[in-house]
Amino acid sequence: MRIAELSRRSATSIPSIKYYLREGLIPGGRTTGRNQADYDEAHVRRLRLIRALVDVGGLSIAAVRDVLAAVDNPDLPGHDLLGIAHHAVSPTPARRDPDDPRWQAAREEVVTLIGERGWLVSPCSPALDVAADAIAAMRALDQADLLSSLPTYVEAVERMAAWEVAAVLARGEPARMVEGLVTGTILGEILIGALRRLAQEAESARLQGLTAPE
Amino acid sequence: MRIAELSRRSATSIPSIKYYLREGLIPGGRTTGRNQADYDEAHVRRLRLIRALVDVGGLSIAAVRDVLAAVDNPDLPGHDLLGIAHHAVSPTPARRDPDDPRWQAAREEVVTLIGERGWLVSPCSPALDVAADAIAAMRALDQADLLSSLPTYVEAVERMAAWEVAAVLARGEPARMVEGLVTGTILGEILIGALRRLAQEAESARLQGLTAPE
């Protein structure tokens, strides 16, 4: 297909495609004439993956390059591939003081919590630090009573993860797995957050005995 | 107490306190001399609430003013108070096309889903739109298979909300309820997101038969 069709099929603008070609993120097409090249399905799939990484994951071009290298490495186990994609979509928040004993205590609490649950997680997982950030902030703001819902959270995310990881691994193809992990993690977070707010509203209405208008 | 102690107790800088005084977000202290005023526990609590709204909720001063007016309204039912706080912490995302039939279909899907569950939710709830954003984006990116986890999400957030709303309502005092709702919604979202990533990592490790190092 010509670049115009590639653009349409991948929902990526022609200037963006040319930029990714220059950056070496997608291979060149088969030359069919002066200033003309032919592209195939592999180009469409690769552009869709790049779009998910950039638009949804918010990755820099350098970070996209690292993820694509992992996708293209046939010797990489699936678990490591998912780990690389996870790391890539986990930015470090601006405010964090790892020397603060209250932050360290919160992190230790997270490690203990997931250890009791039998979760096997790398000690370098950025999500460990993010969970500690949230717990330390809740305590600092005198909201520790809300942390009574931690066991409910742990049980809930375990059920979610069982579905999600199975759905992603079922895809088989590494590029599609990474695409699913990135979009599922980030868009899933937005979706779960929105559903949780709706559930809170419904629960508040229920407790106060409100009923739907006739 | 003097302003220095108020600053320390509320973890708010003196310039910020003076700014909130000028903006009328906190009442003035009792004048005890030229350029001196005495503050009490009510000032500490109010400043902590403002800090939660500004630092955690990301609210503008105008939005903080609206939430404080609701907190100070003794005739407002608790459910409406929570609704105002919820709205205040729900920004409209930049990209959304409400005329796009695919977005409208996604929104209809959310309305049906929560209707089947018996949730009583206002048709103006911003979270309805946010959930539609995420679902429409997943479909546009060819990730519809991941939406098979929607029923799991709905069930999970229902359990979470039951705990959370009960904990917030148990506080009784309107200011503390709003504080709990804002911090619990926003920091809770970060915490749940981080725990979910850890659960995904653990599930991926489990499925691939990895075991902890000795």
Domains of chain B (ranges; CATH) run 3-86 (1.10.1660.10), 97-207 (no CATH)
For residues B99-117, give the mean pLDDT: 93
Give the pLDDT mean for A75-96.
Answer: 78
Q: How much is the average pLDDT of B32-46?
A: 89
Instruction: List pLDDT tens digits, range B42-87.
Output: 899 899 889 888 877 778 898 899 889 888 888 888 788 888 888 8
So what's the pLDDT on residue A90?
A: 76
User: Helix B126-140 crosses helix B78-88 at what angle (to 10 degrees)?
Assistant: 40
Task: Choose the closest CB to B121 out of A160, A183, A201.
Answer: A201
Residue ranges of B 1-40 with Cβ closer than 8 A to chain A: 11
- State the pLDDT at residue A132: 92
A138's tokens:
């809740």
The pLDDT of residue A5 is 95
Q: Which of A86, A145, A196 lies at the smallest CB-CB distance from B157? A: A196
Q: Is pLDDT at A212 greater than 70 in this prediction?
A: no
Nearest-by-CA chain A residue for B123: A198
- At residue B94, the pLDDT reads 57
- B185 and chain A in contact, CB less than 8 A: yes
Q: Is A171 helix (H, G, I), strand (E, B) or coil?
A: coil
Mean pLDDT of A146-165: 93
Residue, of B8 and A210, whose pLDDT is higher: B8
What are the structure tokens assigned to A184, written together? 């599922």
Do the interacting molecules here have an ipTM over 0.95? no
How far away is chain A from the Cα of B39, in angstroms, using its nearest Cα?
Answer: 20
Q: Is B32 exposed, middle or buried (0-12, 13-18, 19+ CB in 10 A)?
A: exposed
Burial B151-186 (b: 16+ CB within 10 A, else e): ebbbebbbbbbbbbbebbbebeebbbbbbbbbbbbb
Bridge partners, A38 (sequence order): A30
- For residue B153 the two structure tokens come to 């999400």
Asked if residue B7 has pLDDT above 80, the reply is yes
pLDDT (0 to 100) of residue B182: 85
pLDDT at A58 > cutoff 90:
no
Q: Does A210 touch chain B (CB under 8 A)?
A: yes
Is residue A92 pLDDT above 80, yes or no? no
Per-residue confidence (pLDDT) for residue A83, from 0 to 100? 84
Q: Which residues of A touch B146 (CB under 8 A)?
A: 164, 167-168, 180, 183-184, 188
The answer to whether A125 contacts chain B (CB < 8 Å) is yes
Q: Average pLDDT over chain B, rounded to whole?
A: 88
Cross-chain residue pair A165–B200, CB shorter than 8 Å: yes
